[in-house]
């Protein structure tokens, strides 16, 4: 397998020679804390035949390193060539909050980065499924959706906000409560982080204390990791693991496997909000079927989450329209 860092290599050269046909994937923000382990894990996935790694720093270094794993991979120096012909794009690009930076500063920088990348997607791979991980997902999804609307080439159901870390944490914390995650169904709905709501589905039920414990731990999961690293890091490995799980579900959807269902933050009519995280059945072009909420045990918390989500969505939309 040849590895290149220019634009002369053809797509055929990037195919894993002799390997089974698979899907073409790009990771944008691939040299960061999540991007590197994610790139390594995706490189091992048999459903991926082409993996483009793009970043504004150190993409050639990560590509060179990953290329010594004996499956196909290309690094791309230009965003457009990294995205051309791609089936699944994972967006991790952004900056983390630094001392002296306000939340608004952070929002404006990351919003601008996501806008640029989505403009590239609308041009180079308008049919690709997009897994958007860059935070704050409750803002960045409406931003990406507005960009796609302007281009008029993408289907809103292709755009999936990755809220699955909340579900992964919930499964973990359910075990801590002494329960078997295979026997409980607790979709995490609403939005991401502070506005997610774990919702217990019948026939399972939790006590008030168990529900309180689960909700608090999931909503503060990110802070728990930052505090454990004494501010030196954030959730990267658990997020890379989650991103792989979610990407694999999307690849299976692309392959049209039956019954691939995950929670994601997506354009939705389940509530009065234009975007909402719920269970979704994945298919060839992203969210194929969006499941209704059904009976809920967490109505009050959900109403509060919706109020906060509405403000986030409005802020994201205004960023593009201003």
Ligand X SMILES: NC(=O)c1ccc[n+]([C@@H]2O[C@H](COP(=O)([O-])OP(=O)(O)OC[C@H]3O[C@@H](n4cnc5c(N)ncnc54)[C@H](O)[C@@H]3O)[C@@H](O)[C@H]2O)c1
Nearest C-alpha neighbor of 188 from the set 219, 160, 213, 157: 219
Q: Which of residues 25-64 bind ligand X (CB under 6 A)?
A: 28-29, 31-35, 54-57
Q: Which residues of 161-184 are buried (b: 16+ CB within 10 A; e: fewer)?
A: bbbbbbbbbbeebbeeeebeeeeb
Our answer to whether residue 68 is catalytic in this structure is: no
Whichever of 21 and 231 has its CB closer to ligand X, that residue is 231
Residue 149: φ, ψ to 5°: -60, -45
What would you measure as the largest C-alpha separation in the chain, in angstroms? 61
User: Among the options 192, 253, 263, 297, which is catalytic?
Assistant: 192
134 among annotated binding-site residues: yes
* Residue 267 within binding range of ligand X, rule CB under 6 A: no
Size of the residue set binding ligand X (CB under 6 A): 29
* Cβ-proximal residues to 298 (8 Å cutoff; 6+ apart), any chain: 197, 198, 199, 200, 211, 215
Q: Which of residues 201-260 bind ligand X (CB under 6 A)?
A: 234-236, 239
Is residue 303 within 8 A of residue 95, CB to CB? The reply is no
Residue 160: φ, ψ to 5°: -120, 115
Whichever of 24 and 192 has its CB closer to ligand X, that residue is 192
Whichever of 106 and 179 has its CB closer to ligand X, that residue is 106
Q: Which of 24, 52, 192, 279 binds ligand X (CB under 6 A)?
A: 192
β partners of residue 207: none
Q: Which of 25, 39, 121, 137 binds ligand X (CB under 6 A)?
A: 137
Residues near ligand X (CB under 6 A) are: 28-29, 31-35, 54-57, 92-96, 113, 116, 133-135, 137, 162, 165, 192, 234-236, 239
Just list the catalytic residues.
192
């Amino acid at each position: 397998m040849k590895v290149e860092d220019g634009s002369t290599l053809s797509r055929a050269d990037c195919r894993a020679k002799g390997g089974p046909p698979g899907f073409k994937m790009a990771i944008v923000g691939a040299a960061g804390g999540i991007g590197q382990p994610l790139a390594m894990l995706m490189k091992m996935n048999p459903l991926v035949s082409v993996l483009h790694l793009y970043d504004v720093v150190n993409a050639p270094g990560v590509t060179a390193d990953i290329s010594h794993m004996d499956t196909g991979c290309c690094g791309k120096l230009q965003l457009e060539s990294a995205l051309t012909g791609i089936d699944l794009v994972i967006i991790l690009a952004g900056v983390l909050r630094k001392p002296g930076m306000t939340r608004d500063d952070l929002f404006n920088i990351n919003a601008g980065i996501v806008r640029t990348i989505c403009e590239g997607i609308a041009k180079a791979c308008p049919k690709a499924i997009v897994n958007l991980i860059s935070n704050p997902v409750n803002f960045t999804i409406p931003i990406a959706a507005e960009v796609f609307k302007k281009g008029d080439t993408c289907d809103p159901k292709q755009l999936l906000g990755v809220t699955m870390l909340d579900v992964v944490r919930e499964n973990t914390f359910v075990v801590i409560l002494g329960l078997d995650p295979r026997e409980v169904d607790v979709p995490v709905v609403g939005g991401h982080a502070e506005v997610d709501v774990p919702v217990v589905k019948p026939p399972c039920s939790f006590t008030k204390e168990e529900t309180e414990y689960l909700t608090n731990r999931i909503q503060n999961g990110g802070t728990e990791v930052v505090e454990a690293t004494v501010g030196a890091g954030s959730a990267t490995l658990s997020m890379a693991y989650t991103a792989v799980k979610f990407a694999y579900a999307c690849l299976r959807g692309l392959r049209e496997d039956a019954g691939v269902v995950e929670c994601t933050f997506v354009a939705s009519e389940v509530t009065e909000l234009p975007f909402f995280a719920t269970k979704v059945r994945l298919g060839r072009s992203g969210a194929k079927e969006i499941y209704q909420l059904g009976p809920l045990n967490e109505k009050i918390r959900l109403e509060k989450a919706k109020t906060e989500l509405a403000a986030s969505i409005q802020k994201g939309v205004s960023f593009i329209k201003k």
